[in-house]
Structure formats: structure tokens, C-alpha cells
Structure 1
């Protein structure tokens, strides 16, 4: 029987996941920190079950993007005459996910074995923060050439996809890397953020589906309330976070998020590493 304390911890972790997954601050770093203070991996929650739980709550965040962007995602596969011209379509998404998808498949086990840990996450937080600062400074010296998603070119989508490869390093942040890539190809902050969320769907869904397939035996009925609590919380909070971030990113830019990353890296270094 799962006690109320475990359910509260599941709720808090779902809250952290939903709030940070699509912000350029690294959900991995925040989950490591939250797990450290909550002591989630004890009692009935073994390390293997906790790892499966993190995959399940990530699924909640992915579903939030699907719900928020469902019209845009559906329109990318509308190939009726004239519909796919001069607009974002499925080929932009394929081009955008191809680099990270290939590398992820080839090196998934190596990434989990060698790059997933508090110390490497701290390095990723710092390096990712520096990249965001450089991208922000670059964008201030140029005028955005792409101010709507439908103006995004295949070349821009591919370059953003190359930057998404950096997110394979846990702690780097998928949105941080892809939004930075978008700024480097002279997309506006809002376009870079929106495309970042859209290309995250197939990449994250594929990785999550594979992890769930491998750890499906941990999804037992007695643990179902824990998984559902975390996933539903992550879904609701991620939906709110996406709406809020898209409204704020053009005004706040990336610098506050980069500084915040440095602070989290210091906290992780002090408490974890």
C-alpha cells in the first residue's frame, strides 16, 4: 500500500517536471535536486521504479505540448493542394529531429552510462547557460529574419536540429539548445520557442516510448496512483508553463534563464556533487 507521503512526493516531482521541462533551465537538474531533498528513492520506490516514474511524468509534459499545439501539429500533415506551400510542414519537423534522433538511437546507452550524473549535469547547466548568453547577445546585434513559424526555412530547421543534439547531454536543456539555435539562424524568440516545443514532441515521445517499453514491468497496479499523480500534475503544470513562457520569452529573452541556470549549478555543486 502506497502511503500519502509517497503521493505527495510524486505530486512535487510532477510539479517540478511540468514547470521545467520546456523552460530553458534543465528539468534534469531540477529533478536531481528535488529527488535529493525529497528522498523519493526509498521504501517501496526503488531506483528502477523512480527512473520509470521520471519517464512517465515526462510523458505528461509531452502530452501538454500536443494539446497546446494540436492545430499546428495537425496542419503540418495537411497536404491538400496549396496547403503545404509556404508554411511549416512535416518536412520541417523531420529535418529538425533527424540529427538528434540518429545520435540518440546510436548512443543512447552510452549517454545514460557516461553523461547522466550530478557532475555532468552541472557542467551541462553551465555550458548551456553560456550558449544561451552568446545566442542572446548575437540576436541583439541582428534583426530577426523569421518572425512567424510559416517563414521558417528547411535550412533553419536543420540548423536548429543540430543544436538539439546538444540536449542529448543531460542537463543541457532541449529548449535552451534549440531556442539558441533558432536565434543563431535569425528567428525571433517566439518562433524559436514555438519550433523548439514542436520538434520536442517526436523526439521526446520516441525516447519515452522506448524507455517505457523497457521498463513496463514496473508499471504495476499498486504503483498506478503514484504514476498517475505525477503524470497528471506534470501535464497540467507543463501546459501552464508553455503558455506563460511563450508570453514572456519575447520580453524576458534568455539572459535571466541563463543566470538562473548558473545558480542551480552552484546549488547542485554544493548539495549533490
Structure 2
């Protein structure tokens, strides 16, 4: 097994684990990193790898929030179990819009938008959006401060915002957090809800990519895929804990400015490279 290729997979796993949960676009970063770190694999495998590696990140959410998401926990009261089932219902409702669009137009979206220009523009647009939404909400008390206060209609609206994340550079967490905050959701609840939304969305997206690629792998491909997933899992645990601790005391403006600066750097780099 080629050590250099495994090392590249480790780096990609680190990038995925950090950027999947911070609202700065994991897909956008992975596309950009791929410009500099080329795995010695087919383009078909790389397209699949960039999606399936997210399974490692998702398992971090499942592990960290297992009790909160488990409606059958013996440590929960009957009401808490009902609330957990209700939470899952809201998550599933919110996945429907992006799920439908993603299944119907996955190939077209990939062909049209998977390029540095789209990534740079969306990084900047949603960076500005974060700053504007935080300024708008500065002196407003959130209307939705827990999942019990989140209505089914609010969950669906957040799900509609998730459609925007089908365009690379947007950030799935970024789109849903901005949407949630626009309708009055607190930062903490918005962040947790976007974590939970990722579970069915990413499992579904990974399953579709695996089916399209097939199940015939070389030993190297299996090693690369497993390495990326394991590293993404470990780094995701740290990234999630960091973000939830960070937003208890800070807003999302720093991520907005990061996106804007990165978007400008991306445009400048590719223009100069040409």
C-alpha cells in the first residue's frame, strides 16, 4: 500500500472533519484541496470519495448525540421519548426538499457547479449573509430556543434552505443555520438541528454515490476510503465540541469573514494561475 496516498487521505479526512461542521463548506474546501493534493485514483473514485468520506463525520454526530437522538433510551421519560420521536419527525420533514432535488438533479448540479468560480462566489455570498443575519438578530430574542418550540413548518423552512447547499461552496450547515436564524432559531438549536439533518442527508448521498460507483475496489482504494472516514470521524468529534462551545459565547461573524477572505483568495489564485 502506497504510504503517500494514505497520507493524502489522512489530510483530506482532517479537512473534511473540520469543515463539515463549521459553516465554511466542506465540499468547497475538498474541491479546492483537490487542486493541490491529487490522489492517484480515477476521477470516478475521487467523486465518490469526496461524498462517502462524510460517513465518518456523520458517525461522530451519532456517537456524541446518541442519547439525545435515541427515542428508546430507558433513561428517558415517556414525554422525553415522545419529544425525541417528534425531533426525528422534524428532521425527516426537513430532509425532503433537498433529498428530492438532489436525487433528481445530482449529475446536472455536479456538472454545472463543481468548479472554483462557483465555490468562490458562494463562499463570499454566504459569508456576507452570516454577517447580515447576525447584525439583524443582534438585539432580538430567539423565538425558538429548544426543539419543543420548533414547529413542523419551521423545520420544513429550514429544509428548504438546505436545498441551497447542493451548490458547492454554500455549506450545508451554513445554509441551514442561516435559514434557521432568519426564522428566529437560537444559534445553539440551529447548529444542533443542522447536525441532526446531516444524518439522513449524508447517509442518503453516500448510498447513492456508492451505488453509482459500484462495489468493486482495489486494496489501495479500500485503504484510502477507510483512512479518510476514520480520520474524518476523529476530527469531527473535536470540531463539533469546539463549535458548540464557541457559539455559547460568540456569534457566527468570524466564520462569515473567513468565508469572504477565502473566496477572494480562491478567485485571485485561479486568475493568477491562468
Regarding TM over 0.5, the answer is: yes
For these two proteins, the number of residue pairs brought into alignment is: 269
Q: Are 2:185 and 1:191 equivalent residues in the alignment?
A: no
Report 1:81-96 matches (<5 A): 83-84=81-82, 88-96=86-94
Once residues 135 and 260 of structure 1 are traced to their aligned partners in structure 2, the CA distance between those partners, rounded to angstroms, is: 16
Which TM-score applies when normalising by structure 2? 0.90
User: Alpha-carbon deviation of 1:198?
Assistant: 0.5
Cα 1:100/1:268, change in 2 over 3 Å:
same
8 Å CA contact 2:68–2:84 kept in 1: the answer is: no
Which TM-score applies when normalising by structure 1? 0.91
Q: Are 2:32 and 1:74 equivalent residues in the alignment?
A: no
Once residues 203 and 75 of structure 1 are traced to their aligned partners in structure 2, the CA distance between those partners, rounded to angstroms, is: 20
Cα 1:175/1:166, change in 2 over 3 Å:
same
Once residues 269 and 216 of structure 2 are traced to their aligned partners in structure 1, the CA distance between those partners, rounded to angstroms, is: 29
User: Alpha-carbon deviation of 1:11?
Assistant: 0.5
Report 1:165-244 matches (<5 A): 165-217=163-215, 219-244=217-242
Equivalent residue, structure 1, for 2:26: 27
Equivalent residue, structure 2, for 1:267: 265
8 Å CA contact 2:27–2:50 kept in 1: the answer is: no
Report 1:47-62 matches (<5 A): 47-62=43-58
8 Å CA contact 1:87–1:149 kept in 2: the answer is: no
Once residues 94 and 29 of structure 1 are traced to their aligned partners in structure 2, the CA distance between those partners, rounded to angstroms, is: 25
Q: Any gaps of 5 or more consecutive residues in structure 2?
A: none
User: Alpha-carbon deviation of 1:220?
Assistant: 2.5
Deviations 1:103-123 (A, max 9, x none): 212221211111111111111
Instruction: Report runs of 4+ in structure 1 exceeding 4 Å deviation.
Output: 76-82, 85-88
1:107 paired residue among 105, 108, 119:
105
Q: CA RMSD in A?
A: 2.2
8 Å CA contact 2:144–2:185 kept in 1: the answer is: yes
8 Å CA contact 1:96–1:199 kept in 2: the answer is: yes
Once residues 208 and 87 of structure 1 are traced to their aligned partners in structure 2, the CA distance between those partners, rounded to angstroms, is: 24
Deviations 1:231-260 (A, max 9, x none): 100010011101110111232211100110
